[in-house]
Structure 1
Amino acid sequence: MLELRDIVKAYGSRTVLSSLSYRFEPGKFVAIMGESGVGKSTLLNLIAGLDTPDAGEVLVDGVPISSLGDDEATRLRRSRMGFVFQAFHVLPHLTLQQNVALPLLLNGLDARAAGAMLEKVGLGGRGADFPRQLSGGELQRVAIARALVHKPALVLADEPTGNLDPETAGIILDLLRAEVRANGASAIMVTHSHAAAAKADQTLILTRAGLGPAPVVR
């Protein structure tokens, strides 16, 4: 479903990703770790089509994202992908119900499914509340509900537990993993946390040399 072919990305004179190739197996929850500045978040942005590589291709279902026009790329992200960001990006002027319903409305789906998804993330009955009334952990649950409500094939999560305490982080990751599996989706999570990575099916390490399996600890 997702393949990276010889990806190169540089910012000025600094090359972040160099000839990076990898094929992700469908239906897996994958954690990507690596040192700060190695290009983890950049890689997620390239996969999502929010940024473009200087060379190489990102293929989704065999189709290079770079071959799509702006409207086609937007439709791909809107219908096939879900995003969970460290900073939540929950819209403050919308209720929780309205925030979660956004992907449904954009895809022409029944917006009533937002209520059921809020129930799944433990926020049932709070659809009329506004983000300012929630804790950090609750905001992250809203972000996960919004990312998953339209049943995307691919979920991308950038440090989804970076601002959370360990107990809340564990709850959030268990929820994300359960929902991804229930929907038969694939997920890629960038994280610096070994505890978070342990929740994934597979952990990959991003280095200047490329992307590969984490070493086995004996």
Structure 2
Amino acid sequence: MAGLECRRGGSGGGADGFRLKIGRFVARAGERIAVIGPSGSGKSTFLDIVALTLAAQKMGATEKTGHFRLSGMEIDSLNDAALAELRGRDIGYVLQTGGLLGFLSGRENARLPLRRLGQPLDVADRLLERLGVADVAGRKPAALSIGQRQRIAIARALAHRPKIVLADEPTASLDPESAGRAMDLLVEMAAEQECCVLLVTHDAALAARAGFEPVACRVGSEAGGPVGLIDRG
């Protein structure tokens, strides 16, 4: 993607709100990339754009070079149904607190992407076993520890073998030992599947230890309000 921006907040979603500008950002299979910046810098907004849950616009009224391609597809050319299909097939997501559905067991949460795609459910079961949570996966999320929920969320994100896994501060709620272990598991299993992992975090040390390439999310100001900037180019 390149030459994109997204506005949030302000009157009418407009000029006095926060803006995120994306100069150039290319991610390839097997890469581990950490977008690092303070709270409010636009990291989560960036992840929402990549996850196809938030639209970005080309920079400037006459900009012709702005584009966003995912899995070889021009995102601007896709309708809502095609976006949903692409998101469900090629993207895995690990949220800060797991994001598990409270009315389903951990096992059923991990199986969700496989059910949607009509794939064998035992793939999720094997991941839960490897992640060390198979024995508690029959419980609802409320009966699980934070660390257990995060490992189940990792299983769900990887079960359908996506091309890219997005992780939004996935270890922020964990103690340092559990955070390191969860990050190691995510990296190890993503590497086996040769998928790209895109992490957003404020913890540069943890990202570096896990072998992520750092990309800064910088914050500045322009007329109209604060601006975040991400550029890997």
After TM superposition, the score normalised by the length of structure 1 is 0.91
1:141 paired with 2:151, answer yes
Query: Structure 2: 5+ residue runs without aligned partners?
Result: 9-13, 59-65, 219-227
1:211 paired with 2:231, answer yes
Query: Does structure 1 retain, via aligned residues, the 8 Å contact 2:43–2:200?
Result: yes
Q: For the residues of structure 1 that align with 2:100 and 2:73, how far apart are their CA atoms?
A: 30
| Superposition deviation, residue 19 in structure 1 | 5.0
Q: Deviations over 1:115-152 (max 9, x none)?
A: 11110111123332221221111111111110011111
The change in CA–CA distance for 1:167 and 1:44 in structure 2 (over 3 A counts) is: same
Query: Does structure 1 retain, via aligned residues, the 8 Å contact 2:23–2:232?
Result: no
- The alignment partner of 2:41 has SS state of coil
Q: Which runs of 4+ in 1 moved over 3 A?
A: none
Partner of 2:33: 30
1:200 paired with 2:211, answer yes
- The alignment partner of 2:162 has SS state of coil
Q: For the residues of structure 2 that align with 1:35 and 1:142, how far apart are their CA atoms?
A: 27
Structural mapping, 1:163-182, within 5 Å: 163-182=173-192
| Superposition deviation, residue 66 in structure 1 | 2.2
1:52 paired with 2:55, answer yes
Partner of 2:108: 98
The change in CA–CA distance for 1:17 and 1:111 in structure 2 (over 3 A counts) is: same
Q: Deviations over 1:102-127 (max 9, x none)?
A: 00000110112221111011112333
Q: For the residues of structure 2 that align with 1:168 and 1:68, how far apart are their CA atoms?
A: 40
Q: For the residues of structure 2 that align with 1:209 and 1:113, how far apart are their CA atoms?
A: 38
Q: Deviations over 1:59-114 (max 9, x none)?
A: 11332212111111111111111000002111111111111100000011011222
Query: Does structure 1 retain, via aligned residues, the 8 Å contact 2:29–2:163?
Result: no
Partner of 1:186: 196
| Superposition deviation, residue 5 in structure 1 | 1.4
Range moving further from structure 2, 180-189 or 124-133: 124-133
Query: Does structure 1 retain, via aligned residues, the 8 Å contact 2:24–2:232?
Result: no
Equivalent AA in structure 1 for residue 25 of structure 2: Y
The change in CA–CA distance for 1:128 and 1:210 in structure 2 (over 3 A counts) is: closer
Query: Structure 1: 5+ residue runs without aligned partners?
Result: 214-218
Query: Does structure 2 retain, via aligned residues, the 8 Å contact 1:206–1:212?
Result: no
Q: For the residues of structure 2 that align with 1:117 and 1:127, how far apart are their CA atoms?
A: 11
Kindly tell me the number of residue pairs found equivalent between the two proteins. Answer: 210
**RMSD value, Cα:** 1.6
Partner of residue 7 from structure 2, selected from 7, 10, 13? 10
Structural mapping, 1:157-168, within 5 Å: 157-168=167-178
Query: Does structure 1 retain, via aligned residues, the 8 Å contact 2:204–2:214?
Result: no
Query: Does structure 1 retain, via aligned residues, the 8 Å contact 2:97–2:146?
Result: no
| Superposition deviation, residue 201 in structure 1 | 3.1
Equivalent AA in structure 2 for residue 5 of structure 1: A
Q: For the residues of structure 1 that align with 2:133 and 2:24, how far apart are their CA atoms?
A: 40
| Superposition deviation, residue 176 in structure 1 | 0.3
Percent identity among equivalent residues? 34
